[in-house]
Structures are given as C-alpha cells and as structure tokens.
Amino acid sequence: MTLTNKQVTTRLKQLTGAALLALCAAGAQAAGYAGTQFEIEMVVFARDSGMDRSRETWPTALRLNYDNQWVDFDTPSAADPMTPALQPAPNQLDNKVAALNRARGYKVLFHKTWRQVLQNERNAPAVLISGGAQEGNHHQLEGSVTLSVSRYLHLSTDLWLSEWLPQTGSVSDQTQLSGIPVPTRPRAAIQTAGDEPMDLASSGTDSNRDFGYSTSADSAVFHGDYAEAAEPAHKMAARVAVLNEERRLRSGELHYIDHPKLGVLIEVRTVAKGPEPGDEEESMELSR
C-alpha cells in the first residue's frame, strides 16, 4: 500500500509525538530520582600485565587531586552522627568477585556495597575509594567516584593505581626523587571545644561546625581538610595508571568500565520502600 504525502506527514507527527512523550516521561522519572536513596555495588580490579599487552603507555604528566566536596565510608550522617552517611548493604556480586580471584593475572582491589542518596551533579559529593596493598598513609588504589542524577544516572570515575618509588629514608629524601606526586587522601578535620575561644565553643547543638561538614539531604559532605598536618602532602610514584571515565547508568543493570590496567564493575539498584506506618496499621485492622 502506497501512502500519500498527507498520510506520511500524519504518521511522522504521531511518531514524533510519541517519542517526545516517552522522553518527557523518562526525564520526569529521572528528575524524581534526585534525593532518592540507591544501592550501589562496585568492584575495582587490576590486571597484572594489562599495560604491557596494550598500545597505551603509562602517563607521565599527571596532576592528581581529590575533589573538595567528598564523603568516605567513615563519614557520619548529618541526621545521626552515629550512623554512616554511606550505609553498608549486602553484596550481590560475590560470584563475579570469585571469578576474578580465580582468573590468572587479575586482582580484586575494592568491593563494597553501600546506600547513598543521589543528588544532581552540582551537589553530588565524590566518594573516596581506596584498596589494595597499603604503604604508609596510601593504598595501591586511590581516588574517588561520583554518582549523580539529572535526566539519567551518571557515574564519573577518578581512580588511580600507583607503583611506588622505593623508600630512601626520610620524607624529604623521597620528595627529591623524580616521579609522579600522588596526593594524600583528605580526612575530616574534627575540632574540639578547646580549639575555639570559650564563647565560640560548641555546646553540642552545632555538630556541623565540630566536624567541618555541610549537609546535603541526609548526608554529611566534608570539605577537603586534613586531620593530621604532619602527613606529607603527597607520596612519589614511579608509575600511575589513571581511570577517568564518564558513563550513563541504567538502574538494575551491571556496567563494566574497561582500562588496560584497571577494570570496574558497578551496579546501581533502586531501594524498595517499606510500607508506611499508617498502611501497616490499616492492614492490621482489616485483618481482624
């Protein structure tokens, strides 16, 4: 059957209208995600000879740094300092981790599952990540990931894997060695009442000032202070592999981010809401 020009125009309008409605619905749904709690599970692993087998070379001119707005797995919730802002949750990717551990040449450096209230890109904090072998105040794997939501779920990775220069004695000796400076992980600067004049000391009601954080939804977001001034600002590495990636995510799907030296598995899952207290009371009354 041959369609007339009018019929073709009508059909195109219908298809365009349907597409716009679907796009608007998806945008409205994603916009509604802001301020919603999600469950995030992430695995980071290394390949022993990944760089040797690829055409990619080790970067030499690097400027590594941490985001000024961050949280870690010890950051307390703004609503309850005894509760972590990133609440731990059960792992569901243990089978993937077991397969990586069995595979020759692979090493799992990080595996955690946590619940996080996602914000828009402007307000989303960087989640500090560390794993692998520890040397002094540093780990083999360091950096951060940032999860945010706008029209879609979005992941930004800023991870680095370091091969350290050999220790030569004092910190001052090591800073003289040629290499790549790796920044020391930021830590919350916690003030005590004795650090303030008596008339400005906290009475316990302004916990935000004590811990040096600002609040975003129900999470405490720290700003880049260091707990110990004695810690060196950086440590020198011989080589550093960096994974900087921007990725759109779909809720409930396992995503894989590839790199010759590093790999990331990440899954973002919606958190099922429990019944409202009123609903439970109503259902109990109806069951009598």
Residue 5 has which token pair?
């020009």
Q: Is residue 137 part of a domain?
A: yes
Which residue do the tokens 């995503």 mark?
255
Q: Is residue 84 part of a domain?
A: yes
Q: Is residue 165 part of a domain?
A: yes
Q: Is residue 105 part of a domain?
A: yes
Q: Which among 178, 116, 105, 109 is positioned nearest to 147, based on CA atoms?
A: 116
Q: Is residue 17 part of a domain?
A: no
How many domains does the chain contain in total? Answer: 1
Output the DSSP codes for the chain: -PPPHHHHHHHHHHHHHHHHHHHHHHHHHHHTTTT-EEEEEEEEEEETTHHHHSSPPPP-S------SEEE-TTPBPSS-TTSBSSEE---S-HHHHHHHHHSTTEEEEEEEEEEEE-B-TTTPPEEEEEEEEEETTEEEEEEEEEEEESSSEEEEEEEEEEEEPPP-SSHHHHHTS-SEEEEPPP------GGGS-TTTS--SS-HHHHHTEEEETTEEEEES--S-TTS-SEEEEEEEEEEEEEEEE-TT-EEEEE-SSEEEEEEEEEPPPPPPHHHHHHHHHHT-
Is the whole-model pTM more than 0.85? Answer: no
* pLDDT tens track, the chain, 288 positions: 565 666 656 665 565 555 555 454 444 444 456 678 999 999 999 988 755 555 566 667 788 999 999 999 999 988 888 889 999 999 999 999 999 999 999 999 999 999 999 999 999 999 999 999 999 899 999 999 999 998 889 999 999 999 998 866 554 444 455 789 999 999 876 544 444 433 333 334 444 434 445 545 456 677 655 444 457 788 999 989 999 999 999 999 999 998 888 999 999 999 876 554 454 444 334 333
Quote the CA–CA distance of 198 and 192 in Å, as a whole number: 11
Q: Is residue 124 part of a domain?
A: yes
Q: Is residue 187 part of a domain?
A: yes
Instruction: Spell out the SS3 assignment of 239-281.
Output: EEEEEEEEEEECCCCEEEEECCCEEEEEEEEECCCCCCHHHHH
Q: Is residue 13 part of a domain?
A: no
Quote the CA–CA distance of 15 and 70 in Å, as a whole number: 44
Q: Which domain holds residue 131?
A: 35-272
Quote the CA–CA distance of 140 and 177 in Å, as a whole number: 19
Quote the CA–CA distance of 39 and 90 in Å, as a whole number: 10
